[in-house]
Amino acid sequence: MGDMGLVVVGAGGRMGQTLIRVIHEMDGVQLAGAVERPGSPSLGRDAGEVAGVGTLGVAVTDDPLAAFAKADGVLDFTTPAASVEFAGYAAQARIVHIIGTTGLSSDDEAKIAAAARHATIVKSGNMSLGVNLLATLVKQAAKALAAADFDIEIMEMHHRHKVDAPSGTALLLGQAAAEGRGIGLAESSVRVRDGHTGPRQTGTIGFATLRGGSVVGDHSVILAGTGERITLSHHAEDRSIFARGAVKAALWARDKKPGLYSMLDVLGLA
Ligand SMILES: NC(=O)C1=CN([C@@H]2O[C@H](COP(=O)(O)OP(=O)(O)OC[C@H]3O[C@@H](n4cnc5c(N)ncnc54)[C@H](OP(=O)(O)O)[C@@H]3O)[C@@H](O)[C@H]2O)C=CC1
Ligand SMILES: O=C(O)C1=N[C@H](C(=O)O)C[C@H](O)C1
């Protein structure tokens, strides 16, 4: 099999540019296309120039269908509305779709699951090896420590430009904790506290969101007992950890049947 041709959508964004650089550096993959939204200042420019790696001979386009027709996969870190649209196009083109976009509604999730009947989709709120390993540790810890004895709180901090909260990673870690406890996350999560909240309700999973500066992504899961506290943390120092994970997911998905997979499947941690 030759190199896998990958389209980067949202090519001018923080993750889009990182993905172009990582594809340029990695073996087994090549940049087959670069897509931005209509009106973007990146349109018509060389994708390599946009990402700061020199000329690659791939011009940024606003025509995803034409780009997908010439590719084996698409790497998508954009917006919920764009990812839903791209899922339909990727299913039509029968190519692999890697989705890192966060902040999706349950309606968006349902549309993506429907597209996965025809396309091989890998979707995760965090594509790094470290966070996915952390999720397995959180699940174990939550299972081992009874809700009556240990409260679970999840704290995250991201850069000032991030638009969704809690982060996709915080929700992924919350899901792992809920699975460890054998409870549903939706019913047990406390996503905001403000004013006279009353005492903490046993068995809930709390979230705290911080935003500021250039923080790439910090997450801590705190298991707080009486007289002792366990903190499981991950600190992302560079966006290339997510981009390398996304490329790894695309290569893994290349020979898989249509379906909706996660990074835990890709990394053998499921
Ligand atoms: N799962 C993971 O491991 C990670 C997930 N993320 C998630 O990825 C997403 C993007 O993050 P980030 O790169 O920081 O955000 P950016 O805003 O920097 O990038 C998003 C890019 O997508 C573009 N875009 C929006 N709509 C379309 C469209 N219809 N067609 C083509 N391009 C479009 C935007 O263009 P414009 O700005 O011109 O509107 C922008 O260039 C977020 O949801 C974030 O949470 C981020 C890092 C890791
Ligand atoms: O928006 C970001 O930057 C990030 N988003 C993802 C999330 O919502 O968890 C992953 C990473 O933390 C960076």
Mutate to test the pocket of ligand 1, among 43, 62, 102 (most ligand atoms within 8 A of CB): 102
Residues tagged in the binding site annotation for (S)-2,3,4,5-tetrahydrodipicolinate: 159, 168-169
| Ligand sitting nearest the alpha carbon of 245 | 1
47: CA distance to ligand 1 center in Å? Answer: 15
DSSP 63-82: -HHHHHHT-SEEEE-S-HHH
Gap between the terminal Cα atoms of the chain: 27
- The single-letter code of the amino acid at 44 is G
Q: Find out whether the beta carbon of 17 lies less than 6 Å from any atom of ligand 1.
A: no
Q: What is the pTM of this model?
A: 0.98
* ipTM of the modeled complex: 0.99
150: CA distance to ligand 1 center in Å? Answer: 36
Q: Which of 202, 205, 203 is nearest to 191 (CA)?
A: 205
Determine which one of 97, 162, 234, 248 is catalytic: 162
pLDDT tens series, the chain, 270 aa: 899 999 999 999 999 999 999 999 999 999 999 999 999 999 999 999 999 999 999 999 999 999 999 999 999 999 999 999 999 999 999 999 999 999 999 999 999 999 999 999 999 999 999 999 999 999 999 999 999 999 999 999 999 999 999 999 999 999 999 999 999 999 999 999 999 999 999 999 999 999 999 999 999 999 999 999 999 999 999 999 999 999 999 999 999 999 999 999 999 999
Residues tagged in the binding site annotation for NADP(+): 37
